Amino acid sequence: MTIILTLLLLLSIVSNCIFGWYAVKMVKRFVTVEETFEIFDMQMDEFGQHLKQIYELDLFYGDTTLEALIQHTKFITQAYSDLKQDYMVVSGEIDAPTEEEPLEPKRFEFKPNPKRK
């Protein structure tokens, strides 16, 4: 009987060590993904600001193509923020989608400038 209990104890210790190692590995991966999200978020903001500055130059002010690009950038930034909010656990709770929230992705419709060919 003591041999069985000793084997079960050893098996429990080994499995707990493996699960602990795996949990540490997953936490490190989660931190890396979160840092990547933050870097990408900053890059998207910088890109949007740069594009806005170009649009506001006298040479390009009123250009519909740049205006559409700015709108598309805002759409992508918002879609990214929604994705980040859905997949990053900040408060410790994961919100399940409700019936009011459709699971379909949003689409951006690009409307080319009819004056340009």
Query: pLDDT tens digits, the chain, 117 residues: what are they?
Result: 899 999 999 999 999 999 999 999 999 998 888 888 888 888 888 888 888 888 777 777 777 887 888 888 888 888 888 877 777 655 444 455 555 555 455 555 555 555 544
Q: For Cα atoms 7, 11, 13, give the angle at the middle one, nearest 5 degrees.
A: 115
Q: What is the pLDDT of residue 93?
A: 47
pTM listed for this prediction: 0.52
Residue 14 has a pLDDT of 96
In angstroms, the CA 25 to CA 18 distance is 11
Q: What is the DSSP letter of 93?
A: -
Residue ranges of domains in the chain: 39-84
